[in-house]
Amino acid sequence: MRLAMEICYTNPCENNEKGSQQIMNRFKRLSPFLGGCAAIAVLALLLVVYTLTKPVPMAGTKSISIDVEYENGVNEHYQITTEAQFLLEALKSIPNFQIEGTTTEEFGLMVTTINGKRADYQKDGAYWALLCDGETCNYGVSQQAIKDGERYTFQYTLPSEELKK
């Protein structure tokens, strides 16, 4: 009787282990497929977010202000009316305004020099910050869509003393 009970109690366990092993093997076979589906879903979500938040240029005539704040405290102000859709196009139409930098296909123009004043990040951490209506821009000068009435500021910026420590 005891032998019969052992057989009854041991066989179901072996069957459960085999069943569990089969289920695990199925999941192992499906995991690359499920991972691929998850990756595609994440990429699709990112594409939707980008499409909804990308800069949309405004057609027509716009009047914008551009301020340049130099390291020494001197400020220059420009008021222009333009048909340009992006900030760099508008800046190129300003007489005696010079903007230079390095250009990449991905990010556009990385501003290093405005009107002869170079911000050398390698030397002292300085850079030209781009602000729109007092807030940091999410895009560079090449990709920043402009709208009527906006105020852009190029601010010569050095890292704070606390960041240097």
Instruction: Give the pair of three-digit tokens for residue 35.
Output: 């991972």
| Same domain (yes/no): 137, 78 | yes
Q: Quick one: pLDDT band at residue 120, thresholds 50, 70, 90?
A: very high
Which domain does 127 fall in, by range? 62-164
CB count in 10 Å sphere of residue 40: 10
| Same domain (yes/no): 148, 116 | yes
Encode pLDDT of 70-107 as tens digits. 999 999 999 999 999 999 999 999 999 999 999 998 88
| Same domain (yes/no): 76, 103 | yes
The pLDDT value given to residue 164: 47
Number of domains within the chain: 2
What is the distance between the alpha carbons of residues 152 and 164, in angstroms, rounded to a whole number? Answer: 28
Encode pLDDT of 12-58 as tens digits. 545 556 667 777 776 667 667 767 777 788 878 877 776 666 666 66
